[in-house]
Amino acid sequence: MTGRMRGAAMAAMVTAIVLSGCVGDDDAAEPSASPIEPSASAEPSASLAPSATPEPSPSAPAEQPDAAALVAVPLGVGCDVLVSPQALYDFNPNVGTDPAFDPGAWALAPVAAQLQGSACGYLNQTSGERIAVSAARVAPESVAALAEQVASRGAAFRTAGATSTLEVLAGDRWIVVEAPSFFGEGDLQPLADAARASTGG
């Protein structure tokens, strides 16, 4: 081998050795990224809502009549007589007998019925407003007790909730007119007067 050839061979060997030191650089493991996420801070607990203020309880209702404490005398007056057609017409031409009258929808009408009296309903044919007129008679020994019961409920005319009430005592007779609350005493008085006249004046 000539000297030139030996030189070339030696150069090739050196190059191979140098290149062998680069193998694996690309395959070296890169440091894994391990970002640390900040932990979520605990949210403050919701404050307790203030407790609801209790609503005031409704006032006690007026004392109700005690029919059992009274001795009743049958009244014997029908609804077409208690408030006559002429009295109804004078009160309001649109008012007539209520065919669907329910005494239980009123506070005092059922008591008059328990006392063997009359509980009558009248209807405004135009507006649909309903009115109850009731009357009862008690024995002489119960007149004072009836007066005490009526007085215990306050004024003869009063409005409570959706109802206006007018109570009238005429000797041994108890007359009640119940109507929607927008009726005043002057509105109901003619009906009470008519019932009083038809039961004995």
Collapsing DSSP to helix, strand or coil, 156 comes out as: coil
pLDDT of residue 65: 81
Give the model's pLDDT for residue 39. 45
| Block residue for tokens 């007085």 | 151
State which residues of the chain have pLDDT below 70.
Answer: 1-63
pLDDT digits 0-9 by tens, 146-200: 999 999 999 999 999 999 999 999 999 999 999 999 999 999 999 999 999 999 9
CA dihedral sign, ordered 62, 161, 120, 88? positive
Q: Which of these, 161, 163, 157, 160, lies nearest to 189 by C-alpha position? A: 157
142 backbone φψ class: left, alpha, beta (φ>0; ψ -120 to 50): alpha
Q: Which of 75, 168, 184 is nearest to 119 (CA)?
A: 75
- Six-digit token string for 110: 């059922």
Instruction: List strand residue ranges (DSSP E) for 23-146, in order.
Output: 72-73, 95-97, 118-124, 130-138
pLDDT (0 to 100) of residue 201: 79
